[in-house]
Structures are given as C-alpha cells and as structure tokens.
C-alpha cells in the first residue's frame, strides 16, 4: 500500500529565508508525487507534480521539488519565503493507474515571520 | 471558468440524522472524487466516479456512506445515521479524464460537517 509521511506538522521561517518541507513516500510501484497548498478557507491547489520525467520539478509561486528514489523523498523547497506563502502544504502520492486516487500526508503548516 | 463548487459550505446536524452534500464539478470533467479531511489531518480518499459509475469506492468507511452521480455531472454524498465521528470537511475534486498521470485534480472549498 502507498503512504506518505510529512516530517514536521509546523514549520516556521523568516521572510526571505529558505523554505524546506519534507515528504517521504512508500510505494510498491513507481509513484506519481504531488504537492498541494491549502490557503485558509480555500480549496486545495496543485503546486507541482512528478510524473517520471525530470526529477527536479518546478511549480508555481517559485516552489520546486526533487524526486530522490534512493531516499524515497520528494521534499518541497523555495529559496526565499514570502509572507503570502503562509499556508498548509500537503504531499500526496498516486499509483497513476487507479483513476488518480491520491493518498495524502498529514500536512505541514508553514508560518512566515516578518 | 467556474471551479468546483460545493454546497452547503457548512452543515450542522444532530447525531442520527441523514445528510446530503452536493458537488458541482468543472463542466466537462468526467472524473469526480470525494475526500474527507478531519481536523489536523490530510484529505482521505472516499470514492471516485468515472462518468456515472463509481470506479473505486474503497475509501467509504462503512455502509452509512453512499454517493451518486446519476447524470455524470453533479454528485451527492449521502450519510445516514450520522455519528459525531463523521464531523469533518468533505472535499470534492474533479479532473478532465481521471488519468492519474496527466490529469490535475481541481478541488472545491469543501463542506464542513458538524455532528452534534
């Protein structure tokens, strides 16, 4: 069975600092991996996805993530945090051949201090 | 164009009551998903529709939960004999084809269900 573990339920950074949100996955087949962001009172929005092409994936709002098979990781980064990045971030995995059913991690809340 | 919409945005009910939650997907999207998000947790898959049929209902927790999509567009999630543990935000998502590789799921804002 597939699963996702997000290390750290809360991460706090200063504005302008590096953002690093950690995600490790477990999958018996080559995974498809996603990062979603959830702003308060809004629906989940796709940031980026890995579908077995390039291992470094660039997304919206300056975020990127690198797929590392040897580490079973798909960590999300952004070089310089902005106040508007404060939100809940979810990592998710899919097997791709089951109608795109997503298995989500428990989420990481990102706070950005001025 | 319009995104995924869900009604009501909030629903408060009493234990034992029946509730219906509605999802309007993006026009033309054949795939529709229901997820449940409990406080402090990530969304949990419930059911996936391809057109009018439920292609995967493995996430429904028990037979009190049922969902329909009779015309391949709007879907209704139905919960019978609600329990306090059913309190959560119910999320709906739709995608163009249901292809897990090329498609993107677009999520609605959710319905917050509170069972007293």
Chain pair A-B, CB pairs under 8 angstroms: 76
CB burial readout B25-36, b (16+ within 10 A) else e: bbeebbbbbbbb
**A84: which residues sit within 8 A by CB, 6+ positions away?**
none
**Average pLDDT in the A26-52 region?**
88
Which contiguous run of DSSP H or E holds residue B13? strand B10-13
Summarize pLDDT for A47-84 with one digit per residue, the tens: 999 987 788 999 999 999 999 999 999 999 999 999 99
> Any CB–CB contact under 8 A between A59 and chain B?
no
Separation of alpha carbons A95 and A51, rounded Å: 10
> Any CB–CB contact under 8 A between B20 and chain A?
no
**Average pLDDT in the A32-54 region?**
89
Q: Minimal Cα–Cα distance from A83 to chain B, Å?
A: 22
> Any CB–CB contact under 8 A between B100 and chain A?
yes
| pLDDT over 90 at B49, yes or no | yes
The C-alpha angle with vertex B77 and arms to B7 and B42, in degrees rounded to 5, equals: 85
For chain B, what is the mean pLDDT? 94
Of B31, B40, B108, the CB nearest to A100: B31
**DSSP character at residue A15:** T
CB contact under 8 A, A90 and B42: yes
CB contact under 8 A, B105 and A42: no
> Any CB–CB contact under 8 A between B45 and chain A?
yes
CB contact under 8 A, A95 and B45: no
Separation of alpha carbons B85 and B105, rounded Å: 27
Percent of chain A predicted with pLDDT > 90: 75
> Any CB–CB contact under 8 A between B4 and chain A?
yes
What's the pLDDT score for residue A97?
A: 65
Summarize pLDDT for B61-85 with one digit per residue, the tens: 999 999 999 999 999 999 999 999 9
């Amino acid at each position: 069975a597939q699963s996702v573990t997000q290390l750290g339920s809360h991460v706090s950074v200063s504005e302008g600092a590096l953002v690093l949100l950690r995600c490790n996955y477990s999958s018996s087949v080559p995974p498809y991996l996603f990062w979603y962001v959830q702003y308060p009172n809004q629906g989940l929005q796709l940031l980026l996805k890995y579908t077995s092409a390039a291992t470094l994936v660039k997304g919206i709002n300056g975020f990127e993530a690198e797929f590392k098979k040897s580490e079973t990781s798909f960590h999300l980064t952004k070089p310089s945090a902005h106040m508007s990045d404060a939100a809940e971030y979810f990592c998710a995995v899919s097997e791709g051949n089951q109608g795109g059913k997503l298995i989500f991690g428990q989420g990481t809340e990102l706070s950005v201090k001025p | 164009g319009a995104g995924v919409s869900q009604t009501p945005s909030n629903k408060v009910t009493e234990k034992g009551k029946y509730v219906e939650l509605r999802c309007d997907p993006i026009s033309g999207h054949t795939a529709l998903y229901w997820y449940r998000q409990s406080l402090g947790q990530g969304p949990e898959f419930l059911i996936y529709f391809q057109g009018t049929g439920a292609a995967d209902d493995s996430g429904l927790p028990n037979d009190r939960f049922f969902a329909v999509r009779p015309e391949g567009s709007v879907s209704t999630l139905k919960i019978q004999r609600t329990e306090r543990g059913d309190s959560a935000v119910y999320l709906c998502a739709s995608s163009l084809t249901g292809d897990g590789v090329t498609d993107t799921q677009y999520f609605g804002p959710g319905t917050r269900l509170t069972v007293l």
